Amino acid sequence: MEQRISLITLGVADVRRARTFYERLGWHGQEVEETVFFQVGGMALVLWGRDKLAADSGVEDTAPGAAALALNLRSRAEVDAALAEAAAAGAELTQPARETFYGGYAGHFRDPDGHVWEIAWNPGFTLNPDGSLTLPDFGAS
Amino acid sequence: MEQRISLITLGVADVRRARTFYERLGWHGQEVEETVFFQVGGMALVLWGRDKLAADSGVEDTAPGAAALALNLRSRAEVDAALAEAAAAGAELTQPARETFYGGYAGHFRDPDGHVWEIAWNPGFTLNPDGSLTLPDFGAS
């Protein structure tokens, strides 16, 4: 599995409140379907409802502070291979790879300490040759 | 506060077990004082004992899956300014800025959803001109 992180998603109780907080810090994000994306270096920080994050990841909504890491890959086959590698390494698969609501393909696992990872192919997010992620212009503010 | 993330620290119950998991995925890290650092793009993923992470951050050790984000800056004055900005934006300061065990200067806050941030100046970690972080060679395996 490539040694990269594409996105960090912070589960939040109220997307508007969370976005306001980060924008008061001087950050600039784009909001699409109640999901806020901030470009941070070669990856993205995402604010998303905790309930949606938990359901998507196949885990119970636990404590405040819930978050998930994502590794974006270049094809469905790469997603399948990475999930198999994680399972062989001892990960707990919490969601099998499947078509996603955003037109991609993704599965989820938890590492031995409960940290959630999404392994995804997202045709809307182009990966740069070095594997870094540059968010598209969603045409949203 | 600059729109960057320097490190993501995953709190773990057993550093050796956690490191073994990520190395089985093909990742390569360096371990220093029971802390494992992986270079991931322009930042670092860190594995550190959950109890130490909680104590360092000034938060109670909560659920498995606990993690913290860090923004590294270039001086003590920048740390003070960023923490003041976060407090003004509504963050809860959980640790005032102080000298750290690694010879730096850092403070911690929680965002409105309980996500923990460390704001740090670490003279051992050079920031690149674009703000990205390249881990030093610790001379460790």
Contacts of A64 (CB under 8 A, 6+ apart): A13, A50, B113, B114
Question: Predicted confidence band at B45 (pLDDT cuts at 50, 70, 90)?
Answer: very high
- Chain A residues with CB under 8 Å of B132 CB are 41-42
Average confidence (pLDDT) over B34-46: 97
Residue-level pLDDT at B62? 64
- Chain A residues with CB under 8 Å of B62 CB are 63, 65
**Which domains, and CATH codes, for chain B?**
7-121 (3.10.180.10)
ipTM above 0.90, yes or no: yes
Residue-level pLDDT at B39? 97
Give me the phi and psi of B85, to 5 degrees please: -65, -40
Q: What are B77-122's pLDDT values in tens digits?
A: 999 999 999 999 999 999 999 999 889 999 999 999 999 999 999 9
Give me the phi and psi of B54, to 5 degrees please: -65, -45
Q: What are A80-99's pLDDT values in tens digits?
A: 999 999 999 999 999 999 99
Question: Reduced to 3 states, what is the DSSP secondary structure of residue B135?
Answer: coil
Q: What are A68-78's pLDDT values in tens digits?
A: 999 999 999 99
Average confidence (pLDDT) over A17-23: 97
* Nearest-Cα residue of chain B relative to residue A49: B113
A21-37 burial, b if ≥16 CB within 10 A, otherwise e?
Answer: bbeebebebbeeeebbb
- The minimum CA-CA distance between A105 and chain B, rounded to whole Å, is 20
pTM: 0.94
B127 contacts chain A (CB < 8 A): no
- Closest CB from B25, B63, B86 relative to A1: B25
Residue-level pLDDT at B125? 93
- Closest CB from A65, A90, A114 relative to B115: A65
Question: Taking all residues of chain B, what is their mean pLDDT, rounded to a whole number?
Answer: 94
Cα separation, B120 vs B19, whole angstroms? 24
Q: What single DSSP character describes residue B56? A: H
| Residue corresponding to tokens 């949606």 | A52
- Chain B residues with CB under 8 Å of A63 CB are 62-63, 65, 114
Of the candidates A62, A56, A51, which has an alpha carbon nearest to the alpha carbon of residue A95? Answer: A56
